[in-house]
Structure 1
């Protein structure tokens, strides 16, 4: 016998974008099987709930996972009657109260039941199992601690799975302090300056625009100027400034979009749609919900916040252009504002994403955790037709017919996998990318010093000679000899080569 949320889903014919992970049934003994993001739990007969709305919903709240998209769709299907009956029958029961609160919170409809007048306050969701707001709001009517991390307009959830707990245990502040102790503060800050440009270049590589030198420079400037320096990075004004800095003053359609948008790829015959973004009329409400998450979770784990804010932003896709770069900008911005990373230090997360096939494929797969399910659910809901010119200057022939139904999914994404990926990227960035860059800078600095012991020269000339020797397999090119006549002397030239090479081949670096 199927019980819990899946029983209700089947009974009411609820179709979900993000499937229920947990399936519960009554068997003979208790057992659990977890595989491929699906959990099958069996319970002995003593766990059998009443075969009605309240019985199955209470069972789900007790033993299964919070799923806001499912709750919102279910409450729309049931209407208020079964919840009102339950709340009148058990006015002080914690599960009836939680359900009543969730119904009103998700639907905006007030139930026709009296306020709860006594009893202890209970949490809306478990802070041990989910990322919750740090300062709870008390819902006096239900005597519920409202610890949901967003707003009814947009509330992402993160499950504290064992893998997530392990990933979030990485202390980025302590890891950076270790690098500081190994290489010194001066090296770390000089490394950060280079990594700002490296992050910009790698971010454009992700967007398949690696040859856009002027835009790379602009984005590097935006990172250096704005990361951690904006009080409200998700405000319309801040996003406009970021987008203008990235795309340039003359870019078309700056600011929140007023047109439909999809993410895909163009072919000679037609556009292939990988993801449809929310209706532009919903963007302000969704962005307000993301801002609410940012405010509500301050003081929580920085790595989790960075993942939710960045991926929540990219799924809302509020701008015509620049969403991907701002999405990755927000990771660094959040870490700096949360004081997990010092001012001026940029983690080259985009460089990590592009550093290996594993991370690159992982990035695409993480985005697809939500986008593929959305497109599978609405595969027949879009088409291309007559071109319409929208308010923001966008001409578009894209039509999507299920914005209202898909709104349930867009509002309540499960971003557990996104937080897990973000945390792993950040750990690899600090432990590997930054450590490697710092090591390279130490070597280069040592090569400069040893070269100048042989032949005094300005840094610019020393840098050119070092790079040339390294690229040419420790051989002096004819052009280098021509530009630096001192290297015509065979003995001096060999000393220069040996000095530079020794810095790169030292075992103690």
Structure 2
């Protein structure tokens, strides 16, 4: 016998974008099996709940997972009556109170039941099992501590799975200090400019625009100027500033879009739709919900916050263009604002994403956790028709027919896998990518010093000689001799080569 939330989903015909991960059944003994993220739990007969709304919902709250998309869809179908009956039958029961609170919070509609007048305050969701508000809001009516991390318009959830908890144990500050100790106290600041440019270039590689040199320079400037420094990064004014910096002030339709948008790819015959973003009229509420998450979770784990803010933004997709770059900008911006990394230091997370097939495929898989399931649910809900020019100047022939229904999913994304991915990317970035860059910088500086012991010259000339020798197998090319005739003398050229080469062939991994 199936029980809990899946029993209610089956009874009321609830179709979800994000499936319920747990299926509970009554059997003979208690067992649990997990395959590809789906969990099947069996319970002995003593666990059997009443075959009613309250019986199955209470069972779900006790033994299964919080699923706001499911709750909101379910409440829209059932209406208030079963919850009102439950609350009147069990006015002080914690599960009835939590359900009553969730109904009113998700629907914005008041239940016809009296306020709870007795009992201690209880958490809306478990802080042990979910990322929650750092300061709960007391709801006197239900004697509930509302610790949900967002608003009814946008409330992402992160499950504190064993994998997530382990990933969030990564001590970013300690890892950066280890880099300082290994390569010098100012190594992070001395590599800041290069890492900023590297992050920009890699970000455009993700967007498949690696040849856009001017835009790469613009985004590098945006990162260097605004990361951790821009006030209220999710405000309309700040998003406009970031987008203008990325795209240029002459770009059309800066600011929140006023047109439909989808993420996809063009072919000779048709556009392939990979993801549909929310209706433009709803964008202010979604952004307000994301900002509320930012404010509500101040003091929580920075890696988790950075992941939710970045991926939450990209799923909302509020701009005509530049969403992906702002999405990745928000990772560094959040970490700097949270003081998890020093001001001026940029983690080249985009470079890590593009550094290997595994990380690149992992990035796409992480985006697909929500978007692929979304498109499976709404595969027949979009079409291409008459071309219309919208208020922001965008001509579009794209139509989506299920905005209202899709809001149930857009508002309540499960971003657990996204937090796990970002935590792993950041750890690899610091321990591998930044360590490698620091090592290269140290070697290059030593090569400069040794070269100048043979030939005194400005840094710019030394850099040019070092790069040429390294790139040409430790040979002085004719072009280099023409630029620096002194290298035509064999004995001096040999001394220069040996000086530079010695720096690259020694191990400067640690001081």
Short-chain TM bin: over 0.9
In structure 2, C-alpha distance between the alignment counterparts of 1:203 and 1:61, rounded to whole Å: 41
Superimposed CA distance per residue, residues 407-440 of structure 1 (whole angstroms, 9 cap, x where no aligned partner): 1000000000000000000000000000000000
Partner of 2:442: 442
Write out aligned runs for 1:331-480 (5 A): 331-480=331-480
Q: 2:491 aligns to what SS in structure 1?
A: helix
Query: CA deviation digits over 1:131-185, x for unaligned, max 9?
Result: 0000100000000000000000000000000000010000111100110111113
Other structure's SS at 1:33 match: strand
Q: Is the counterpart of residue 63 in structure 1 residue 92 in structure 2?
A: no
Structure 2 CA distance, aligned partners of 1:107 and 1:410? 15
Aligned to 2:127: 127
Q: Distance in 2 between matches of 1:173 and 1:385?
A: 52
Number of aligned pairs? 509
Deviations 1:227-256 (A, max 9, x none): 001231000000000000000000000000
Gaps of 5+ in 2: none
Q: What is the match of residue 22 of structure 2?
A: 22
CA distance in 2, matches of 1:467, 1:476: 11
Task: Classify the secondary structure of the residue corresponding to 1:272.
Answer: strand
Higher mean C-alpha displacement, 404-413 vs 180-189: 180-189
Cα distance in 1, alignment partners of residues 354 and 107 from structure 2? 42
Deviation string 1:435-482 (CA, Å, 9 cap, x unpaired) is 000000000000000000011000000000000000000000011111
| C-alpha distance in structure 2 between counterparts of 1:354 and 1:462, whole Å | 31
What's 1:501 paired with? Answer: 501
- 1: CA distance, partners of 2:461 / 2:20: 63
> What residue number does 2:299 align with?
299
What does residue 281 of structure 2 align with?
A: 281
Distance in 2, matches of 1:174 and 1:187, equals 15
CA distance in 1, matches of 2:93, 2:318: 41
For the pair 1:190 / 2:177, whether they are aligned, the reply is no
User: What is the CA–CA distance in structure 2 between the aligned matches of 1:327 and 1:74, rounded to whole Å?
Assistant: 32
Distance (whole Å) between structure 2 residues aligned to residue 133 and residue 195 of structure 1: 33
Counterpart-to-counterpart distance in 2, 1:237 and 1:508: 46
The Cα shift of 1:187 comes to: 2.2
How far is the alpha carbon of 1:508 from its aligned partner? 4.0
Aligned to 2:317: 317
Q: If the length of structure 1 is used for normalisation, what is the TM-score? A: 1.00
Q: Does 1:35 align with 2:41?
A: no
Alignment root-mean-square deviation, CA? 0.5
- Whether 1:144 and 2:135 are equivalent positions in the alignment is no
Q: TM-score, normalised by structure 2?
A: 0.99
Task: Give 1:483 deviation, angstroms.
Answer: 1.1
Indicate conservation of the 8 Å contact 2:280/2:318, yes or no: yes
Q: Does 1:330 align with 2:330?
A: yes
Query: Quick one: distance in 1 between partners of 2:130 and 2:186?
Result: 40
Larger mean Cα displacement after TM superposition, 179-188 or 116-125? 179-188
Which whole-Å deviations, capped at 9, do the CAs of 1:286-312 have from their partners, x for residues lacking one?
Answer: 100000000000000000000000000
Does the CA-based 8 Å contact 2:443-2:508 persist in structure 1?
no
SS at match of 1:398: strand
Q: How much has 1:485 moved relative to structure 2?
A: 1.2
Q: Which runs of 5+ in 1 are unaligned?
A: none
Are 1:113 and 2:113 matched, yes or no? yes
**What is the SS of the residue equivalent to 1:321?**
coil
Structure 1 position 3 matched with structure 2 position 13: no
Aligned to 1:211: 211
Are the equivalent residues in 1 in contact too, given 2:442–2:508 (CA < 8 A)?
Answer: no
Asked if structure 1 preserves the Cα contact closer than 8 Å seen for 2:439 and 2:508, the reply is: no
- Could you tell me how far apart the structure 2 residues matched to 1:231 and 1:165 are? 30
The answer to whether the aligner puts 1:176 opposite 2:176 as a matched pair is yes
SS of residue paired to 1:185: coil
Per-residue deviation, 1:186: 2.4
Quote the Cα distance in structure 2 between the aligned partners of 1:507 and 1:382.
58
**Deviation per residue, 1:320-372 (Å, 9 max, x gap):** 00000000000000000000000000000000000000000000000000000
Query: What SS does the aligned partner of 1:259 have?
Result: coil
8 Å Cα contact 2:26/2:43 also seen in 1: yes
